[in-house]
Amino acid sequence: MKIAVAGTGYVGLVTGVCLASKGHGVTCVDVDEQKVEVMKQGVSPIYEPGLSELMKESMDHLTFTTDYESAYKDADVIFIGVGTPEKVDGSANLAFVYQVAKQIAASVQKDCVVVIKSTVPIGTNDKIESYIHDKQKHNVSVYVASNPEFLSQGTAVKDTLHASRIVIGADEEKPAEILKKVYQDFDAPKLVVGRRSAEMIKYASNDFLALKISYVNEIANLCETVGADVEEVTMGMGYDSRIGDRFLNAGIGYGGSCFPKDTKALSWLASFNDNEIRTIKAAIEVNDSQKFKLVKKARKYYDDFLFLNIAILGCTFKPGTDDLREAPSLVNVPLLLEDGAYLRIWDPVGQDNFKKQIQNKNIQYFDTIEEAIDGADLCLIFTEWDDVVKFDITKYEELMKTPIVLDGRNCYPLSAFEGTKTTYCSIGRKTVNDR
């Protein structure tokens, strides 16, 4: 099948490459000429495990271009996978989606299905369909369907090729059947629902996971107060099949391109329609506060951070990605700098992006964890990179000036620090070797 994909970010590029790997002829469209030239060489412009390899394997079925007219005019299916960033009021910005819809309306010369892969407010598919029908230049049938993505950064390729489910939102039989053919070689349940239901499934799913994370973080905070261990608590909870054991890891909050944006968007949409989802509002508030948990803990050991050398392990919002969107590091680093600290930062893939966002003469970057913690008065762990999890914890005591490790991701078992001189303070658990 001849497929065009608008946008080559996480959603668009992963979708295009995975569809090409199944034998479809895929043309990926982007406005950035430099980015397109890089992709033509078989090089992925984003860091995503497994994507570059699959991209190289599928190049016989992949084309990259800035020429949207040639890509859209005779495509059987056009996926829209552009960004829907958050507006100041929390609502979703649909400008990029409408821009693509305008291009499609001007270009299509044969019957086709336009598939909105981007996360959009409920009712957007209806509006895009009306917009395209009003603006289209050629007398062809254009159907609009919803096909929300459920990929996670760091596991996006696996999440697409081996999806938990493929949701097809269609109000007519023809677009639903065409999308079934697109996905016929994907081993995943195919669920056909109405377009508005499909749009809501995406928001409801993401926001439920955000709720779960914020809930367990509040439980973790209470565990610290009453002397319980959150990992023992969540282990007991996870055996209940109604709850499950995923997304029960206590920490310093969620980040990334989905959960923060989607919780705010659904809350805004409810409010706009004279409704209120109080649980979602609470999840947002808890998450905003949880991001500062490590700095609050650090105040116990230092009245201020003036002239302290503080090691930061991890910049990205999660391991396996170079994405910094809504990462706790972005709000904590400025606080520490404002208080006069000298920061020693390590991250295996996120440093270049971090440098673009925060520039300060009191920040140094290092290639190894050993270098970052050398001579440090304090160490804050923001990302549970595998290098951190597998790090030889005896080196904290050996290399740090004052071995105080504040772990926002519970990377280590408490027993690892027993018998050492390192103060280890994590989330929802007792502090080992407290001072």
CA distances from 176 to 18, 167, 236, 379, 422 (A): 20, 10, 42, 53, 59
CATH fold of 202-290: N-(1-d-carboxylethyl)-l-norvaline Dehydrogenase; domain 2 (1.10.1040)
pLDDT digits (tens, 9 = 90+) for 32-46: 999 999 999 999 999
Level-2 CATH architecture, domain 2-193? 3-Layer(aba) Sandwich (3.40)
**Residue 139 pLDDT > 90:** yes
Alpha helices in 239-357, H assignment, sequence order = 259-272, 278-290, 293-298, 328-338, 351-357
Four-CA torsion 154, 357, 330, 150, nearest 10 degrees:
-30
**Residue 30 pLDDT > 90:** yes
pLDDT digits (tens, 9 = 90+) for 187-240: 899 999 999 999 999 999 999 999 999 999 999 999 999 999 999 999 999 999
pLDDT recorded at residue 145: 98
Which residues, at least 6 apart from 28, have a Cβ–Cβ distance to it below 8 Å? 4, 5, 8, 12, 13, 16, 39, 62, 63, 64, 65
Q: CATH number of the domain at 293-425, please? A: 3.40.50.720
- How many CA atoms within 13 Å lie on the side-chain side of 306? 2
**Residue 140 pLDDT > 90:** yes
Which position among 112, 258, 379, 425 bears the catalytic label?
A: 258
Average pLDDT of the residues of the chain: 96
pLDDT recorded at residue 413: 98
Looking at the chain, the domain(s) classified CATH 3.40.50.720 span 2-193, 293-425
What number is the average pLDDT over the span 135-148?
A: 97
Q: How far apart are CA 306 and CA 51, in angstroms?
A: 43
Annotated catalytic residue 379 = no
pLDDT digits (tens, 9 = 90+) for 106-121: 999 999 999 999 999 9
What number is the average pLDDT over the span 135-156?
A: 95
CA distances from 60 to 19, 22, 64, 136, 156 (A): 12, 11, 12, 31, 22
pLDDT recorded at residue 283: 97
**pTM, full prediction:** 0.92
pLDDT digits (tens, 9 = 90+) for 374-389: 999 999 999 999 999 9
Return the percentage of the chain with pLDDT > 70, whole number.
100
Tokens, residue 203: 């928001």
**Residue 257 pLDDT > 90:** no
**Residue 295 pLDDT > 90:** yes
